[in-house]
A and B are shown apart, each in its own frame.
Chain A
Amino acid sequence: MADTSDIGRVGKPVVMKIEAGKIREFAKSIKDPNPLYRDEAVAKAEIGGIMPPPTFLMTLAHWDDGDGQPRVPLDTRRILHGEQEFEYFKPIYVGDTLTAVTKVANIFEKTGGRGGTMKFVVMDTDFTNQKGEKVAVAHFTVIETGQAVASS
């Protein structure tokens, strides 16, 4: 049985000001040339301002020194990102300040094929803007495999 004592553990709030430069850098890294991520005038005319790409919120998970992620002991040599989901409630614009709070939603085990017994950890993150509005949530599932699993 998986040790479920970490369920409910909450990380420290992570605060990020949404900056145009960070969005431009992120859009470049996913090879997205959309001018709405880099040209303020175009973005303002089309959608009211520069908005981050849909998966940009994941950068908040790596923005602080690690205290935002509630600690669950996992072997970093054997972890894989299993699933990811975002729900978007309100628009996010450059200049907003987001606060992300992450909690451990679930921990469970499954017996798999190639990877042996796999441990699943689900983390839920709430993203709130400077007006106190919940703008998005993320559900992150990480898998600790029994051994390195390479699929071709």
Chain B
Amino acid sequence: MALSARNLKVGDTYQEQIVENLTRTRLVQYAGASGDYNPVHTDEIFTTKVAGYPSVFAHGMLTMGMTGKMLTNYVGDGRLTKYGVRFTRQVWPGDTLTATAQVETIREEGGVHFVDLIVSTVNQDGAEVVSGYASARVDP
């Protein structure tokens, strides 16, 4: 279902829990599906002993991808015109993430309606892991 400009107002929010208790298996699965085999996401020995991190951590793109699922559930499929994020904090195995979109602007350009969204994903401690924005075409 697509959103409709006439039913939207600035400040509207939509929220989803996008993952509960993130597993290392999920990181391996995303590595395979995306082709991103950077060992800091899958190889605990390399990550702790060579790179010096406390453990493997999630691909930023896994968090962005799961946050994108919240966005497409909200705005509908094939509706996004822009989606960008800053990765503000690492995501670790065991984390539970919640993603939120908030309506910032509703606008019309050449007869086409758009919504601009503020996007934020936080972990179980309320700390932001992704800070972003998105724009989507909406129905009148």
Contacts and interface: CB of A to CB of B under 8 A. Distances in A.
Interface string A123-152: 000000000000000010000000110111
A86 B32 contact: no
Contact of A26 (B33, B64, B84, B86): B33
A95 interface: no
A88 B80 contact: yes
Interface string A51-75: 1011100110111000000000000
Interface centre among A26, A55, A87 (most CB of B within 10 A): A55
Given A29-B32, A85-B82, A87-B82, A53 B52 contact: no
A88 B81 contact: yes
Interface residues of A, number: 42
A80 B40 CA distance: 10
A62 B69 contact: no
B85 A83 contact: yes
A30 B66 contact: yes
B86 A28 contact: no
Interface of A: 22, 25-26, 28-32, 34, 36, 46-47, 51, 53-55, 58-59, 61-63, 76-89, 91, 139, 147-148, 150-152
Given A84-B61, A85-B83, A30 B72 contact: no
Contacts of A82: 86-87
A148 B51 contact: yes
Contact of A86 (B35, B50, B84): B84
B38 interface: yes
Interface of chain A: mostly helix, strand, loop or mixed: mixed
A44 B83 CA distance: 24
Contacts of A88: 80-83
Interface of chain B: mostly helix, strand, loop or mixed: mixed
Interface residues of B, number: 45
Interface centre among A36, A84, A87 (most CB of B within 10 A): A84
Given A31-B18, A77-B51, A59 B82 contact: no
B30 interface: yes
Nearest to B86: A83
Nearest to B69: A32
A59 B34 contact: yes
Contact of B83 (A46, A54, A152): A54
Contacts of A85: 82-85
Contacts of A148: 51-53
A80 B51 CA distance: 12
